Amino acid sequence: MEKLVVLTGSGISAESGIKTFRDNGGLWEEFDVTEVASPKAWEHNRSLVMRFYNERRKALLEANPNGAHFALAELEKKFDVQIITQNVDDLHERAGSSNVLHLHGELKKVRCPVNEQEIYELDGWELKEGSLSKGGHQLRPHIVWFGEAVPAMEKAVPLVNEADIFLVVGTSLNVYPAAGLINYTRNETPIYVIDPGEPVGIGSMDVHFIQKKATEGMKDFIKKIV
């Protein structure tokens, strides 16, 4: 089976009602990223950070996977599919994808700030002040914040290098190191990009660009590769 590696961003979940970050009306227009998604914010304005992620979690519990998530899961019948996502939602998993690597963490999980391997599945939408890890530390969202390392990159780079086909869906490719993954494809590997906008990170790269929303774009992509 050919290996299809897919890098996804918030755009793939837009049609499920999840907000993107940098589009008009995106989250970073409404919030200052350094005030809600950084270790400093957690230190100085914990209640705002908690509220921000609690709201995101609430929205996620009300959302469902869309046709693009389902199409990727369905492609497992014909390809060895590996998803690498910048998204913290669980819509790929809920659509049935088996191999999902989260680069930026997972919204439904929380962890101990001291022992980072101590990760808990949160029951419901709310992380509360006073919810403690075994060691007595306030639990934090299991999210990679700005300025923090992205440990999953170590797994992602060799996966991208193994790709026979590389697909990018719904990401502006603005945020590193994730955006740099595209550079680890082999020379002969075709790269497809699905996005209704113009992802800045593509630049002058030689890609097959499908300028459509994720659900429609996936249909075109499947026609091209199957």
What residues are annotated to the active site?
104
Binding ligand OAD (rule: CB under 6 A), the pick from 23, 76, 80, 164 is 23
Segment 151-180, which members bind ligand OAD (CB under 6 A)? 170-172, 174-175
Which of 165, 168, 1, 6 lies closest to 77 in space, CA to CA? 1
Give the residue nearest to ligand OAD (CB): 11
Binding ligand OAD (rule: CB under 6 A), the pick from 99, 189, 196, 209 is 196
Smallest gap from Cβ 197 to ligand OAD, in A, equals 3
* Cβ distance to ligand OAD smaller for residue 86 or 133: 86
Site string for ligand OAD, 51-80 (x = CB under 6 A): ------------------------------
Site string for ligand OAD, 201-220 (x = CB under 6 A): ------------xx------
Rounded (10°) CA dihedral 217, 222, 224, 226: 180
Stretch (H or E) spanning 53: helix 46-62
Both tokens of 17, joined, read 């009602």
Confirm or reject binding of residue 38 to ligand OAD (CB under 6 A): no
Confirm or reject binding of residue 22 to ligand OAD (CB under 6 A): yes
* Cβ distance to ligand OAD smaller for residue 80 or 196: 196
Question: Of the ranges 15-23, 50-58, 114-122, 181-189, which one interacts with ligand OAD (CB under 6 A)?
Answer: 15-23
CA 88 to chain centre: 5
Binding ligand OAD (rule: CB under 6 A), the pick from 104, 108, 111, 140 is 104
Confirm or reject binding of residue 9 to ligand OAD (CB under 6 A): yes
CA distance readout (Å), 76 to 10, 13, 69, 87, 199: 22, 19, 12, 20, 26
| Distance (Å, whole) CA 23 – CA 147 | 22
Measured distance between the N- and C-terminal CA atoms of the chain, rounded to whole angstroms? 12
| Distance (Å, whole) CA 10 – CA 182 | 17
- Residue ranges that bind ligand OAD, judged by CB under 6 A: 9-12, 14-15, 20-23, 26, 37, 86, 104, 144, 170-172, 174-175, 195-197, 199, 213-214
